Amino acid sequence: MELSGFPHQVGGHFGLLQCNGHVAKPMNARELAFYELMSDNLRPFVPDYCGRVRVCASVDDDGYLRLVAEPVIECHSKLKRSGTIRFHLGESGRVEVTTDRVPKHYWAAECQSKVVHKLLEGSYSWFILLDNIVATFSRPCVLDLKIGTRQHGDDASESKRHRQLRKCRESTSATLGVRLVGMQLYDSRRRSYKFVDKQEGRRIDAAQLHEYLQKFVRNCGIGRAARLRHRYITMCAGYRFFSSSLLIAFDADAADSTADDAIRLRLIDFAHSTLPGFAQDIAYEGVDEGCILGIDSILSAIDVAPRPTPSPAVTPT
C-alpha cells in the first residue's frame, strides 16, 4: 500500500498519513493496547482499529519520497479524490510537503514532514491503521477538542506533569474541561478553508471558545455528543481519557443531510489513557468528572442542556 500525507489533520503532535481509506498513525504501545482492550461499549465512539503496518520510505531520482506499507489492508472506503500530499527531500536534507488541490494547514504539514523524516532516519517503522472517518466527504470540516481537566498520564515525568498542568491552568481546560486543539471549516462563500491551530486554541477564553463551538457544531448537530455523554457515564467507570480528544467532522457539501452519519464524532488519542486492569496503572473508580465537564461544556455552548447536572470541576493532580 502506498501512503501519502493526510490533508485533513487539524491537531496532534504526530503527523498522520493515509492509505486505502485509513489514517496511519505512528504506533504507541500503550495506545495500541488500549484499542485492543477497551470495552465493546466504547467502540462505536472511537475510530475502528484495523491493524498495524510496517512503513518503509525511499527517495526517487527527483527527490520525491515513496512511502509503502505492508501488509495490505483494505477494509474501508477509499478517500474521495481531492488531491494528494506528497513529500520531497530538499537539498538541505529537509523533508518538504507538496500539495495538489488540497487544504494546506501549516501545522499538519510540519508534523507530517517530521514523521517522514523520522522514517528516513529509521526512528519509526510501525504505524496503526484507523478508519478515516472523513473518507467519503468532499469538503471535510473537522474540529479537534482536547477533553478533560487533566492532560498528563500517570507515567508522566515531573517536568511534563508541570507543563501539562500549566497548559490546562492557562487555557479553558481547567474551567471548562475542554480546549480547542484545531479546526478546519469550509467557507462556501469564499470557497476556501479557515483554519484554527492549537496556539490560538490555548489563547482563547470561554466566550471565544463558545463562539467557535457554535459556529462549527450548529452546522452539523450535537445529538451524538449527548449520546456519548450518556454512554460514558453508564459504561466507562474506571476509564481515564488523559490527553484524549473529541473529533467532530461533517461534510460541507452535505451540511443539511439528516442521515445518521452526517455528523461523525469520535474519541481519539489514547497514548495516556487508562482503563480498569490496564498494565500496572493506578486503578480509578467512577467516571472522569473532568471529561464529563468537557462534554457538558460543549453541549451548553450550543444550548443543549446536559442531564444530569454536572458535578463541579475537580482540580487535576
Residues β-bridged to residue 24: 17, 129
Q: CA-to-CA distance for 220 and 138, rounded, in angstroms?
A: 15
Nearest to 295 by CA among 176, 168, 165, 133: 176
Which residues are within 8 A (CB) of 177 and not within 5 positions of it... i.e. 6 or more apart? 147, 148, 149, 290, 291, 292, 293, 294, 295, 296, 297, 313
Strand ranges (E), the chain: 2-5, 17-19, 22-26, 49-59, 65-70, 84-89, 95-100, 126-131, 140-147, 178-187, 192-196, 245-251, 263-268
Structural domains of the chain, with CATH: 2-131 (no CATH), 140-301 (3.30.470.160)
Q: For residue 78, what is the DSSP state?
A: P
| Residue the block writes with cell 464524532 | 265
Could you give the count of Cα atoms lying within 13 Å of 85 in the half-sphere of its Cβ?
28
What is the rounded (10 degree) CA torsion for 202, 208, 209, 212? Answer: -120
- What separation, in Å, do the N-terminal and C-terminal C-alpha atoms of the chain show? 44
Whether the CB-CB separation of 293 and 149 falls below 8 Å is answered with: yes
CA distance 53 to 196: 31
- Tens-digit pLDDT profile for the chain (317 aa)? 899 999 999 988 889 999 988 999 999 999 999 999 998 988 988 999 999 999 999 999 999 999 999 998 888 766 555 567 899 999 888 999 888 766 667 778 889 999 999 999 987 799 999 999 999 898 899 999 999 999 999 989 999 999 999 999 999 999 999 999 999 998 888 888 999 999 999 999 999 999 998 888 665 555 556 666 776 666 677 889 999 999 989 888 876 666 667 778 899 999 999 998 888 889 999 989 999 999 889 888 866 545 454 454 555 55
Cell numbers at 182, concatenated: 484545531
pTM for the model: 0.87
- What residue type is 139 in one-letter code? R
